Structure 1
């Protein structure tokens, strides 16, 4: 569809969200945004806003999904157009080999993260890894095929994920205050941007998961090995895990290295990103969070569920 908007986000507090039969209108303070409903696929609402009931009806009538998040980017619910509620693959999902599916997700995400770290490190004269870190990650990758219990998988996954986020901090300016992945409320702009980007990726993946007939609540890596987190659906997290680095992390760290985050945020009880920063971030996410790639990942997962094979 020409001029299609993959998603529209409303973040923060105080926006007034309305829709007629043909147009979505968002008023935020003195600013106003309008979108033809024919061009929108998804509305993401995070924080505290006013949403008219009639707007929901018009959105659903135009096959537009609505996802709700708290101000930190944690999911709180969603409304899908008719036809998204059935989960014909639920029984098959319950019977998949959990260890094999979880292993596949961990291997894919670890390879994605290590490729990105190696790419970042190749352009630095002083390197990126501290002594022994690369060996730890490489050993963990080789060790995976020999792990036979879910707690062992959880240990390696948590270790490598935590190391990855700490290593990333070395390419961000120190004044940004980013050290590692934190829980909300986020104390720095990099964590806040990760949260926003993951919310966009989560919502986009959730729509595709529902459309494929998968039960979003039934996962293997998440739900069995790792808790999915508050209000997060395990199947959605399983599929989006390997996509987080190329679709979100790369965008955030590119902006950090380009100096675009500096002085574009405020720290109070949480980190608040400026409108200018959010506009540029969303523009880049539109190019990075690719719906076709997500749909292919979901289709591959659904095919593996049907066959009972590796995800």
Structure 2
């Protein structure tokens, strides 16, 4: 069987992951799936599985990266093919002007989120914004350049991001139980799918950033203004922040609006999305998680590092 997306995701529990020099073999509880190593460039392991040591050797020798996530989609670690000086831009990242670089990330992310919210609102008769919300977001965007301290930037970033996720809840069916972005364990399918989509995006950006010579751990916004989170690289989070809306959120909210999530998940201590829904989601992500767009953002970030932060917005 050939992978239909440029990555392979093994999620859940109990799979046995092996590889020959040319094929990845995943044995689940009920089926065995084979993926030619030439058909994908990234293996994402989500949850608890058994990974044969020899499989790692075959994957790395075929220039395939491996990223590990816990069952909630939170990063745990990664293995990447590297050679020579792995992160030649590390010293430049340490000297990057934090305020202007963080503000660039915030501005780009807020612009993407406002564009999407306005797009969603234009297609609704009952409106999407509560009174004053649009003005708050607009004012925040115009006032960013006048904020002096890092805590001020952090407050605006957190405020606008939280507002964005709450406003999104009005674009999906109430019975899905989504109200805002939550911390794991997720008890609704929208948050669970956000987490999976962000894991795919994180893994893709992480590989691209390392390939460009950036140290994935050293960020401007993340790590200096707001916490990057456990096992998350600040540089990766900086680069992916403006990409989350166009590459992941559009897909999740779009599928919810189409009714594709209804009755395709179970909730106990956490939300478990059906395998069929996850497969459909991965196919849509393969179209929206654009490698060219990721590489463009990585290159802009790397250029800013090389030029001491003088190359404009990321």
Gapped runs of 5+ residues in structure 1?
Answer: none
Normalised by the size of structure 2, how large is the TM-score? 0.97
| CA spacing shift, 1:4–1:260, aligned 2, 3 Å | closer
For the Cα contact (< 8 Å) 1:75–1:232, is it kept in 2?
yes
**Aligned match of 1:203:** 203
Out of 76-85 and 191-200, give the one that drifted further: 76-85
Q: Helix, strand or coil for the counterpart of 2:68?
A: strand
| CA spacing shift, 1:218–1:4, aligned 2, 3 Å | same
Q: Structure 1 CA distance, aligned partners of 2:149 and 2:244?
A: 25
Offset at 1:96? 1.1
Out of 176-185 and 296-305, give the one that drifted further: 296-305
Q: Structure 2 CA distance, aligned partners of 1:84 and 1:245?
A: 35
Q: Structure 1 CA distance, aligned partners of 2:30 and 2:18?
A: 15
Does 1:167 pair with 2:181?
A: no
Does 1:100 pair with 2:111?
A: no
Query: What is the CA deviation profile of residues 66-94 of structure 1, one whole-angstrom value per residue up to 9, with x for unaligned ones?
Result: 00000001111101113286111111111
Query: What is the CA deviation profile of residues 164-215 of structure 1, one whole-angstrom value per residue up to 9, with x for unaligned ones?
Result: 0000000111110000000000011000000000000000000001000011
Q: Structure 2 CA distance, aligned partners of 1:170 and 1:82?
A: 44
Offset at 1:3? 7.7
**Aligned match of 2:44:** 44
Offset at 1:248? 0.2
**Aligned match of 1:212:** 212
Q: Structure 2 CA distance, aligned partners of 1:85 and 1:272?
A: 41
Q: Helix, strand or coil for the counterpart of 1:281?
A: helix
For the Cα contact (< 8 Å) 1:84–1:210, is it kept in 2?
no
**Aligned match of 2:148:** 148
| CA spacing shift, 1:22–1:195, aligned 2, 3 Å | same
Q: Structure 2 CA distance, aligned partners of 1:86 and 1:177?
A: 44
Gapped runs of 5+ residues in structure 2?
Answer: none
1:279-298 mapped onto 2 (5 Å cutoff): 279-298=279-298
For the Cα contact (< 8 Å) 1:187–1:270, is it kept in 2?
yes
1:1-311 mapped onto 2 (5 Å cutoff): 5-83=5-83, 86-308=86-308, 309=310, 310=312, 311=314
Aligned residue pairs total: 310
Normalised by the size of structure 1, how large is the TM-score? 0.97
Q: Structure 2 CA distance, aligned partners of 1:83 and 1:26?
A: 28
Q: Structure 2 CA distance, aligned partners of 1:31 and 1:257?
A: 32
Q: Structure 1 CA distance, aligned partners of 2:223 and 2:183?
A: 19
